[in-house]
């Protein structure tokens, strides 16, 4: 069973993690508060983001603030401590571009790839796999993340600062498998 990491198991993160578990992945998770609900659905608790990074090549996070992201990446037990070549870190939370962008360089210096992500939908939509997940960054890394999330990629042409310049070599809008074809019209600025 393949292991994936997840940091930030809250209102959106918990249903994303649950869908990963239902898809057959072992999910190693971390949250500052209780992980009882996560463990009840089959998740495995970790002691720190660094522990997750040491044990997984794919790490998702869905954090409530830029400050939380800073702590998870660069804190004393942050992902930077165990970052390594080939590792992919995907932040799914809504944060200002500069706040995500500042993590690209330090992680890249260790060989890890940071992807900018976003979840559009309610916790119920995420549970039902009806939410929209946006990813921006390295094309191959996006494809790997899509495989874990079990979503269908639709290439998107997005202009402007939709993603950090350092990671915007590829932009993908990922839809859940249950999205109807009628809904598959991503916003395009061109």
CATH number of the domain to which 52 belongs: 3.40.50.720
190 assigned to some structural domain? no
Report, as ranges of residue numbers, the positions in the chain whose pLDDT lies below 50.
152-190
Question: From the CB of residue 23, how many other CB atoms can be counted at a distance below 10 Å?
Answer: 14
Task: Report pLDDT for 154.
Answer: 46
Task: Report pLDDT for 149.
Answer: 85
20 assigned to some structural domain? yes
Cβ pair 43, 17 in contact under 8 A: yes
Pick from 17, 72, 68: nearest CA to 39: 17
Domain that holds residue 93: 3-183
189 assigned to some structural domain? no
* pLDDT digit string, tens, across residues 88-144: 999 999 999 889 989 999 999 999 999 999 998 899 999 988 888 888 889 899 989
Please give the Cα distance from 171 to 156 (Å, whole number). 6
165 assigned to some structural domain? yes
Task: Report pLDDT for 157.
Answer: 35
């Amino acid at each position: 069973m393949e292991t994936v990491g997840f940091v930030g198991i809250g209102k959106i993160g918990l249903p994303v993690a649950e869908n990963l578990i239902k898809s057959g992945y072992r999910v190693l998770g971390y949250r500052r508060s209780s992980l009882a609900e996560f463990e009840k659905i089959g998740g495995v608790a970790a002691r720190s983001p660094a522990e997750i990074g040491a044990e997984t090549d794919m790490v998702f996070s869905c954090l409530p603030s830029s400050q939380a992201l800073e702590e998870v990446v660069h804190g004393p037990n942050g992902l930077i401590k165990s970052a390594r070549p080939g590792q992919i870190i995907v932040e799914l939370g809504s944060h200002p571009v500069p706040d995500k962008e500042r993590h690209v360089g330090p992680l890249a210096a260790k060989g890890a790839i940071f992807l900018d992500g976003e979840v559009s939908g309610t916790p119920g939509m995420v549970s039902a796999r009806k939410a929209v997940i946006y990813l921006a960054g390295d094309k191959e890394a996006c494809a790997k993340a899509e495989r874990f999330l079990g979503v269908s990629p639709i290439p998107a042409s997005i202009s402007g600062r939709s993603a950090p310049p350092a990671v915007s070599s590829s932009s993908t809008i990922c839809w859940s498998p249950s999205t109807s074809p009628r809904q598959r019209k991503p916003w395009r600025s061109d």
